[in-house]
Amino acid sequence: MAKPADVSVDSPALDTERPPEQQGLPAGVTNAAVWADERLGLASLLKKNLRKVFPDHWSFLLGEIALYSFIILLLTGVFLTIWFKPSMAEIEYQGTYQLMRGLPMSEAFASTLALSFDVRGGLLVRQIHHWAAMLFVASMTVHMLRIFFTGAFRKPRELNWLIGVGLFSLSLIEGFAGYSLPDDLLSGTGLRFVDGLIRSIPLIGTWAEFFIFNGEFPGDLVIPRLYMVHILLVPAVLLGLIAAHLALVVYHKHTQYPGAGRKDGNVVGYPLFPVYMAKAGGFFFVVFGVAILMGATMQINPVWNFGPYNPAQVTAGSQPDWYMGWVEGAIRIMPNWEWHLGSTTWSWNVVLPGVGLMTALFVLLGAYPFIERWITGDTAEHHVLERPRNNPTRTAIGVAGITCYGMFWLSGGNDILATQFKLSLNAVTEFMRVAVFVAPVIAFIVTKRICISLQRADAERVLHGSETGIIERSPDGGYSEPHRPISIDEKFTLTQHVQGKALEATPDTDGHGVAEKGAGVSSLRALASRWFYAGVIAKPTKDEIAEADHHADGHDADGHEVKAGKSESAGQISH
Amino acid sequence: MRFLTAKRRHRAARPALLVLALLLMGALYAAVAPAARVSADTGNSQQVAEGKALFQVTCSSCHGMNGEGTSQGPSLVGVGAAAANFQVSTGRMPMANPGAQAPRKQNTYTDEEIAALAAFVASLGPGPAIPTEDQYSGEGLSPDELAKGGELFRTNCSACHNFEGAGGALPNGKYAPSLVGVSGQRIWEAMRTGPQQMPVFSSGALPDEDVRAIVGYLDTLHAQPSSGIAFGGLGPVAEGLFAWIIGIGGICLIAVWIAAKGARAR
């Protein structure tokens, strides 16, 4: 993953020579450009920014997916607002869909049915909007993971990381509000779930519920309110944060993967215009195309099958959209802990896994760059990304986090797991109760070991070159595999990273036995730092590489002999 | 006729003739033989006797020689012909192995055998009889009645069977089966007799016209087209899975392709 993208051989070469002096643009274009420049001062702005250089890697496009799905959501959302009626007024349905004929329902649900069955293209746009919403949050998640695993959140990008966490949390609220608007049986059940979350907040829960729902659930105001949140409040904040997010990317300049010629002080890549203009523009259409294809061929949220919301009804398979599934899962597997103190109820069974877990995720995400900085004492600016293996503890923390999230996520579908894989629902639930704690620990250990092994493999590759896969037999019967030295560029890529050192605790007293004051390294911090750097393989030093090079030069076909008597699987290689 | 004459000593001629003769005999038998009786007529003592004989061979090891029940299986006194018909014709009984719940499987009994078994079980005590078509048929209902059937389904059934009858999980390995492709007669019998984990919906709670409305609703629901690939009607879990696999997975593949198609500096 962390290798810089290979550029295919048949790609067109970018001509860096200055083209011969041209006759200039047609007068009309020039005049218009001059007119605009004299009034808006665009020329200097564009000149600077159109030549802005961005590095090239597929994983840098993950955030773009989020941006483009947001644009798709705005476009399709505008269409939907034209037809949707955010009203909880009860009417008797007399529309086109025969299986709902004469049923009492809210205007919101009736207008969703009309949107789906009577408005030309309405169902398609609804499905595109919903799929794009799933893609929006999913692409934010993978983008965030890319940032995390490559250490792109380090100085100077901590604030942009925080903006990203804010975008992620707001997108969950935005998604949930949208999920609730159609007022079908599923969205009403989801709303009831959130109603329970709000009520579970100790002491103020009931008041908070009455405040949000304007009285008892479901009331008749929550959909207009969520509509406001969904189409105005959250999108406006999202837009502002996205603008800030992108402005900071431009200001900080984009990070780049390590490679020959890439340093913290430069950016190796291509200019925005024309290369990234074309790539990003094309990618926008690709994302839009995928969203349309999904909307056209894959059914999502068939509200006409769910029926109108009725608090007396519920359906098996009631789940939120995927991004809230982990909270659903946490509540599904939580033991039934509840206190009754005086006249108050403390629903730990809901408030801990629901409110508590969501808070914990966002606090941990937001705090991580600062925690890591505290542990490592790394105050340097970083513009070259870290390969995940070169920071094994961070990578292991990330994978443990993904595993924990995944376990909660699976728990959210425990009934689907039970029916689809012929398991016992109780067994799945009880397994998950243990797995959410144990699986992340296993994942942490395994990931850390894999990273360290990869570091070892890197060192091996730098010192001994790459295996040729050719086994040679010598006249006296020994077998050996010649190794081919790797390129100097690859050696650089594999060894360019700076290996941090664990912090040492500053002694409590100075040399004269007088207590030290002020900013030192506490023993706790030193302990955390030792843990963070434990097990790291020291990268080959300059001398080791020079010696290995010399060694390879001396033996033309560098014979790494496998001793005939030893088993080959042991891989014992001697020089 | 020259063709037949020429080929009469062909290798395949004798087997072909044999097959033809068998087909002819079969067709003749089907036309001439009396139609099979499939009703469980409790007054027909011969049918009851046949049913009892069959019962003692295939059912009694769990339900007792006279259907009185054992530690392995419940008493069948008073469950009615409808219960026996439902359990055996869906293959749930006889149970292949004791598990959390008897699964639906291939039924190996003929209609007459099932009718005989049902007649025998009905003779043990009064219970719901096998319904006639006017009790369960979902045909010929008005849109309002179908809509009411949907409302009844969502009120009484969807909590276990899912919003479109795709089935759902119950505790300890039990489950509510899918209702897709289940006939109205089976649905009527299941509602009245409460097989496995299902509660009984008596005619006092849901009269026959309500059952007909539910059957009609399900038939119409399952016959209508979906707006794209429906992923088994399992709801948001399946949608989320495919948003990740097809959506994010597909777009990432394209991203890799776009990143690889770069311009090289000369």
Query: Residue A552 above 80 pLDDT?
Result: no
Q: Which residue of B has its CA nearest to A409?
A: B237
Query: Which residues 6+ apart lie within 8 Å of A66 measured at CB?
Result: A136, A139, A140, A143
**Cross-chain residue pair A300–B169, CB shorter than 8 Å:** no
CATH code for the structural domain at B131-223:
1.10.760.10
The DSSP symbol for B232 reads G
Asked if the model's pLDDT at residue A568 lies above 50, the reply is no
pLDDT of residue A518: 64
ipTM above 0.85, yes or no: yes
Rounded distance between C-alpha atoms, residue A92 and residue A101, angstroms: 8
**pLDDT tens-digit map of A6-50:** 555 555 555 555 656 656 678 888 888 888 888 888 888 888 888
Residues 279..298 of A with a Cβ closer than 8 Å to B: which?
279, 282-283, 286-287, 290-291, 294-298
* The predicted structure's pLDDT at residue A273: 83
Per-residue pLDDT of chain B (266 residues; tens, 9 = 90+): 677 777 777 888 888 889 999 999 989 888 887 665 555 555 578 889 999 999 999 999 999 998 898 998 899 999 999 999 999 999 998 888 888 889 999 999 999 999 999 999 999 989 899 999 999 998 889 999 999 999 999 999 999 999 999 999 999 889 999 999 999 999 999 999 999 899 999 999 999 999 999 999 999 999 999 998 988 888 899 999 999 999 999 999 999 998 887 665 54
CATH number of B38-129: 1.10.760.10
* pLDDT: which is higher, A285 or A550: A285
pLDDT tens-place string over residues A312-333: 999 998 999 999 999 999 999 9
**Is the Cβ of B103 closer than 8 Å to some Cβ of chain A?**
no
Q: How far is B266 from B262, CA to CA, in rounded Å?
A: 12
CA A443 to chain centroid, in Å, comes to: 18
Q: Do domains B38-129 and B131-223 have the same CATH topology?
A: yes
Q: Would you state the pLDDT for residue A537? A: 87
Q: What is the pLDDT of residues A339-397, one digit of tens each?
A: 999 988 899 999 999 999 999 999 999 999 999 999 999 999 999 999 999 999 999 99
Domains of chain A from N-terminus onward: 63-329+345-386 (1.20.810.10), 467-510+517-567 (no CATH)
**Which of the pair, B135 or A572, is modelled with greater confidence?**
B135
- Closest residue to A316, CB basis, from B150, B158, B230: B158
State yes or no: B252 annotated in a binding site: no
pLDDT given at position A363: 97
Beta bridge partner(s), residue A467: A483
* Residue A570 pLDDT greater than 80, yes or no: no
Domains of chain B by residue range: 2-31, 38-129, 131-223
pLDDT computed for residue A567 by the predictor: 39
User: In this structure, what token pair is assigned to residue A127?
Assistant: 């499905």
Q: Which of A273-277, A448-452, A494-498, B78-82 has the lowest mean pLDDT?
A: A273-277
Specify the pLDDT at position A21.
Answer: 60
The residue of A3, A142, A415, A422 whose CB has the most chain B CBs within 10 angstroms, and thus the best one to mutate to test that interface, is A415
CB proximity B225 to A under 8 Å: no
Q: Of A294-308, A537-551, B13-27, B97-111, where does the model show the most confidence?
A: A294-308
* Pairwise CA distance, residues A278 & A276, whole Å: 5
- Chain A residue at shortest CA distance from B256: A58
Residues A92-105 have pLDDT tens digits of: 999 999 999 999 99
- What's the sign of the alpha-carbon dihedral B239, B240, B243, B249? negative
DSSP string, A531-553: HHHTTPPPPPPHHHHHHHHHHHH
CA–CA dist A509, A173 (Å, integer) = 51
| DSSP alpha helix (H) spans, A88-184 | 107-117, 122-149, 158-180
Please tell me which residue, A158 or B35, carries the higher pLDDT value: A158
Cβ B166–A317 below 8 Å, yes or no?
Answer: yes
- The pLDDT score that the predictor gives to residue A42 is 83
Is B63 marked as a binding-site residue? yes
Asked if pLDDT for residue A175 goes beyond 50, the answer is yes
* Strand partners for A484: A466
**Mean pLDDT score of chain A, rounded to an integer?**
89
